[in-house]
Each structure stands twice: as C-alpha cells, then as structure tokens.
Amino acid sequence: MNRFLIVFLLVSHVVQSKEISVSLLTKSDQELANVVVYFTPKQKQGLAQTHEMAIMDQVDTQFSPHILAIQKDTQVRFPNSDSIKHHVYSFSPAKTFELQLYKELQADPLLFSNLGSVELGCNIHDWMLGYIFVVDTPYFGKTDIKGNLTLDLPDGEYQLDVWHPRIKDKLSSLSRQLTLPRESEIKINLKSALLPDVNQYENVSDEFSDYE
C-alpha cells in the first residue's frame, strides 16, 4: 500500500502543469500577431511527438496560413484550394523542394525533419510568400491578433524562443530561461522596428493587420 502511494504521488507530480501567457509587443508597444512562440524543455527525454498531418493550403493566390508552425518530423500536405495551378518551391536549407499543384491532383505530403524556417514561394505567382517554421518541442503556438499566446506546460525548466520573418532583433536576445510553476506571465518587447513587409496585400486580414 505504501509503495503504491509513493508511485501515485510521483506520477501526480509529473503530470502537474502550469498555464503560462506570453505577449509580444513591437518597439512602439503595438501587439504583434502571428509570432511563433515555442518552449524547449531542458529535459527532452520522453517528449511527445505529434503525428497529425499539417496543412499548408493555397487560397486566393496566397499561402494559408501565412506562417505554419510544426514540430520536427511532421508531414505537411499542400492542397490547392484555388482553381488555378501553383508551383510551390523552397530553396531554404531546412527544406528544399518543388511541387506542381493542380486542383484535381493531390501531391504527396512532405516530411520536415530539419529545424528552422522554410520560406515558400510560387514560380507562377511571384507575390506569394509563406513560411513553415520547424521546432524541436511539442510546446508551441502562435500569438493571436492581440499579440498573446497561452499554453499549459508541465512543471520544469524551459527555454522560451520566438520567431517571425519581420523581427529585426537578434532572436537570441529575445530568448528567456523559465522555471515553472514559478513564472506565469511574460511580456517581450522588441527593441528594433519591424522589417518591411515584402508582401503588399490588397485584402488585409486579421492575421496581418497587427504587424505594423
């Protein structure tokens, strides 16, 4: 009975989690949406691997979503919801590929095993630009239109990192070392102005409206 109680208490301690909130603000204190936020535990043994298929679609001659965050070794499917052909490619070191996409033809999914950013373009439509960002942790997400992200994390020590193609600050300067459950709210202010938006979107959605 005592041995069972000890095991139960140990398991209970392992599964305890803490809600943590992160907010991203620009140099001018404006909310920054669509930023990838990820927490890498110092103890990586036993990390869960999500095996769900991720989707990078093409809608109205734009990548949807504009930024897709995935865990390492995730497969990504590239459907084409447009009625026209797309020729998606990437020359990024993390993943180099080319896909000719037709509405009536489904391309095989691609496996993303290297960490970092993968910049996507279309050989037919030069203005199309998208990103896939690969992380080595199951604890990640993107900030909402208010620049906020809330996640439940198991107790432990983590490194917090953020990524967005328009962040000009040195990314290492934005990293944080965290210990849960001690910390619960983190605010990150950029010190430099955002890089220019290379896309001039005619139809600005909520996803991009808070970038300036």
Residue 149 token pair: 């992200």
pTM (predicted TM-score): 0.85
Q: What stretches in the chain show pLDDT beneath 50? A: 1-14, 201-212
What is the predicted pLDDT for the residue at 199? 63
Domains of the chain in sequence order: 17-46+138-212 (2.60.40.1120), 48-136 (2.60.40.420)
Position 122, amino acid: C
Residues 16-26: b if buried by 16+ CB within 10 A, e if exposed: eebebebbbeb
What is the predicted pLDDT for the residue at 212? 33
Query: By C-alpha distance, which of 7, 136, 11, 166 is closest to 70?
Result: 136
What is the predicted pLDDT for the residue at 48? 77
Instruction: Answer yes or no: are the C-beta atoms of 129 and 196 closer than 8 Å.
Output: no
What is the predicted pLDDT for the residue at 159? 97
Reported as a single tens digit per residue, the pLDDT across 160-181 is 999 999 999 999 999 999 998 8
